[in-house]
Chains A and B, each alone.
Chain A
Amino acid sequence: MIAAQLLLNAVALGMAYALIALGFVLALNAAGAVNFAHGDLVVLGGGVAVALAFHLAAPAWLLVPLVLLVLGAVGVLAARVAILPLVDRPPETTFVATIALAAIVEHALTLAMAGAPATVPAVAGAGAVQVLGVAVGRQQLAILVLGGAAILLVWLLLERSWIGMRMRAVAMDRTMARAVGIPAGRYIAATFALSGALAGLAGLLLGHQFLVSPTQGAGYMLKAYIAVALGGWGSVPGALLAALGIGAFESLASAWVGDAWAQGALYVGVIATLALRPQGLFGEPAGRRV
């Protein structure tokens, strides 16, 4: 029984990480640069959910569309402030700009929350339901259902809609996309809206179990970053799978040897992977990635 619950927790955490990594990799492909503020958008999603629940006394399920909307708008803002004006500058400019953006979000949240961590209400109520004799946490179930639905919708959007196809075209070759008349900037902004919304959803879902604290951003960003590096730079399915794996590993290894060793093993593993297989576990060569 306990093993089944542990496994469910592991998969749920992996699903939340997959949402973070999905937003991260979409933004990465669109901008051609890492968005170091992505983790802070996740935390912001949690923070916005806390604020909405408190001020509007909104029912928990209503938080989902609201957070998606707000963080989608924040994503566009992030693109307008720290990505789009710098697309033609050397890569270290975006590096600095998104790190500064991350710091802005973090410190603004610190001021707004007065330093006290807060809890997001559970999306589908607290407690557990019995499934085949196993007590399944309602929040874990909600994470799996909402996360799965979000990933499916993003897949449909990218693969089956002309908006998604244009987003992919811009991500693949910005210059060429422009040359055939696609307003690249607008589609990069749209991708960041999607990326921000996914981050917000993840923050909302994680914020119940792990609280919302302004300093979590770097940690979330790092998980997504690792997922993208292990899954093959820029590969969306690779990032999703790697994020699921990282979440599951973290949950199970934490339960087994404690959190510190689990984290340590993950970071050592990343350095070892980059050193031995610089192309990622199943990805393209990293050696000449610029």
Chain B
Amino acid sequence: MSGLSRFWRFTLVATMMAALVVAERYPHAATLIAAYTLMGLGYQLIFGHLGALALSQGAMFGVGAYATALLASTLGVGVIPVGALIAALVAAVVAVPVLRLQSHYFALATIALAAIVHLVAVNAERWTGGANGLVGFGTNLPSELSLALVAWTVAALFVAALARAMAGRWAETARLLREAPLAAEALGIDGARWRFTAFVCGSALGGLGGGIAAAAAGVVSPEATGFPLMVLCLVSVVVGGARHPMGAVLGAVLAVLLPELLRDFGGAWLLAYAIATLIVVRLAPEGLAAAIDRWRGAAQPMPPLDPLPRRPVTAKRRLAVRDAVKRFGGVEAVAGVSFEVARGEVVGLIGPNGSGKTTILNLISGLVPADEGAILLDDQALDGLGAVPRARAGLARSFQTPALPAATLAGDAVGLVAWGDAPEALAMFGLDKVAAEPCGRLAPGERRRVDLARAVATGAPFLLLDEPAAGLGDAEREVLVAALRALAAEDRAVLVIDHDIALLSRACDRLICLDRGRVIASGTPDAVRADRRVQAAYLGRAA
């Protein structure tokens, strides 16, 4: 947990001091930077860290601003946090149906929300004053210098707090959710809850900024809810650095200073800012703050993640698939499959391409719902549960394409979900030496082993491994066989898909062969390999 580096702490304090000094002559501009910083911080959470394409942050700023203007006479200074709460409330209500939507649907839903807020601001004249907006509420709020001081103190505190919070474990969790959402789910990280929390907290920060801006301006008009403000928020966060702890501050400073500096050019500053954004996206997508870090050579090494508390292991003994059916359009990918895997055994799932192996893994881990049939842990039916509760019930899996964020260190990728023993899992796959390397720099075989170690480190007693041997060299395959046997000896159940039948024969207690969505053979490796239908399925001869 490091938070801001000394350089940025100094910059933050210096910026705050400078703002407070100029606040005597330009109180509005000085306070507005703090307000935009808060709006930007919220957007960093939602868009930067969680990667949600939200376009409602400007509207949340407006909600905070209007709430402050409307309630200032009754609540006095206390109104500003109330504005933030109201924005959070609006976000929470809308988030429930909308947050499960993916990328561009979510973007649309948030634009529609923003459009509704704007319509209300313009048309509900009795409350909002319509196009003229509201004035005269400022007398109940602190003014000029004292407001600037309050605003900057709040903004600086939130910058520091967010820098602290979004380092280490939370930063890695957000990165996994952003870059590999399915893997995160299958490993038991509740993305929906994270996104909800980020959206509500981020919106609250937007509302807080809006309230402060309203107090500083002494007027609120529908402009505070408009799409241009949203674009300004997005642009300043991206230019400043969408994930850098100081990105929101830099963006806000630019958003307030640029119009002053380019005043002689009319509206040209917005044009300049938009062009700068495009350049930043193309050349320095991490933003100015990160570019400054790189230029200073200050990529500080992060300490490894603190270990998670051990999670008690379920007492369930048996994973059972009963008559599972999955259709994609007219194709029955899985056509009534039943089998069991018990703790202490390794079972190999084989079959030609397209025989339904990965689909079965997806049905078990809950990434894809089954059309018919049941998945059971002992007598507990998992049907109807999503991937996250299934992972928490004791399942974990690896993926055909290892889903590892490139910037995450191998050790952290494993440590992030290690409710079991991370060092032991790393050692089991011979990864001790590369634990401090970022996953993006690992060889394909190493990445595959990190993915496997991550599933093992969850401590889950039921492991689903999808082609763990693909891309491994001979020595690595030996490590894999030994690891599979060790897992069985640890009293875990392993279901493993692979095409290397020789390897599976050595590692597995039993093999199950699928063809066209059906089990055509199961039993000891030797028996299954000798089966005529298995040979036919693989070699394409009629059985």
Contact = CB atoms under 8 A, between A and B. Distances in A.
Do A and B bind?
A: yes
Interface of A: 33-34, 81-82, 85-86, 89-93, 95-97, 99-104, 107-108, 110-111, 215, 218, 222, 225-226, 229, 233, 260, 263-264, 267-268, 270-271, 274-276, 278, 286-290
A276 B102 CA distance: 14
Interface string B240-279: 0000000000000000000000000011101101110110
Given A111-B271, A215-B228, A222-B115, 11 more contacts: A93-B281, A102-B231, A103-B231, A103-B271, A111-B267, A229-B108, A270-B109, A271-B98, A274-B105, A274-B109, A287-B102
A103 B108 contact: no
A271 B109 contact: yes
Contact of A111 (B98, B100, B268): B268
A33 B103 CA distance: 10
Task: List the 6 closest A-B pairs by CB distance, nearest first.
Answer: A275-B97, A103-B274, A107-B271, A100-B277, A260-B123, A267-B112
Contacts of B270: 103, 107
A95 to B, nearest CB: 5
A58 B426 CA distance: 74
A100 B105 contact: no
Contacts of A101: 274, 278
Contact of A107 (B51, B101, B274, B281): B274
Nearest to B266: A111
A288 B53 contact: no
Given A111-B268, A278-B100, A289-B103, A85 B109 contact: no
28 contacts: A82-B278, A86-B282, A91-B53, A91-B103, A91-B104, A92-B53, A93-B281, A97-B282, A100-B275, A103-B231, A103-B270, A103-B271, A103-B277, A104-B275, A111-B267, A233-B104, A267-B113, A267-B119, A270-B109, A271-B94, A271-B113, A274-B101, A274-B109, A275-B98, A278-B101, A287-B102, A288-B102, A290-B103
B111 A92 contact: no
Contacts of B231: 99, 102-103
A286 B106 CA distance: 10
Contacts of A286: 101-102, 105
A215 B234 CA distance: 18
B238 A96 contact: yes
Contacts of A268: 112, 116
B271 A104 contact: yes
Contacts of A267: 112-113, 115-116, 119
Nearest to A215: B228
B268 A225 contact: no
A99 B238 CA distance: 11
B227 A218 contact: yes
A69 B235 CA distance: 31
Nearest to B94: A271
B277 A96 contact: yes
A165 B119 CA distance: 42
A260 B119 contact: yes
B59 to A, nearest CB: 12
B90 interface: no
Given A99-B231, A286-B105, A270 B281 contact: no
B462 interface: no
Contacts of B105: 229, 233, 274, 278, 286, 289
A286 B53 CA distance: 15
B154 interface: no
A257 to B, nearest CB: 12
A30 B94 CA distance: 31
A100 B271 contact: no
A270 B266 contact: no
Contact of B108 (A86, A90, A274, A290): A274
B115 A96 contact: no
B119 to A, nearest CB: 5
A143 B19 CA distance: 54
Most central of A97, A107, A229, A278 by chain B CB within 10 Å: A107
Nearest to B178: A90
Contacts of A34: 104, 107
Given A86-B281, A95-B107, A103-B235, A289 B116 contact: no
Contacts of B108: 225-226, 229, 270, 274
Contact of B104 (A104, A226, A289): A289
Interface in B267-314: 267-268, 270-271, 273-275, 277-278, 281-282, 285
B47 interface: yes
B122 interface: yes
A100 B278 contact: yes
A104 B274 contact: yes
A149 to B, nearest CB: 30
Contact of A263 (B53, B115, B227): B115
A289 B227 contact: no
A290 B102 contact: yes
Most buried by A among B107, B109, B112: B112
Nearest to B113: A271
B386 to A, nearest CB: 12
A97 B119 CA distance: 27
Interface string B365-394: 000000000000000000000000000000
A53 to B, nearest CB: 24
Contacts of B113: 267, 271
A102 B113 CA distance: 20
Contacts of A102: 231
Nearest to B123: A260
Contacts of B109: 270-271, 274-275
A271 B119 contact: no
A109 to B, nearest CB: 10
Contacts of A229: 105, 108
A96 B98 contact: no
Nearest to B237: A96
B41 to A, nearest CB: 18
Contacts of A111: 266-268, 271
A99 B107 CA distance: 12
A42 B98 CA distance: 29
A95 B237 CA distance: 13
A85 B283 CA distance: 11
B196 to A, nearest CB: 15
A230 to B, nearest CB: 10
Contacts of B235: 99-100, 103
B278 A110 contact: no
B71 to A, nearest CB: 24
Contacts of B282: 85-86, 97
Interface in B54-78: none
B112 A271 contact: yes
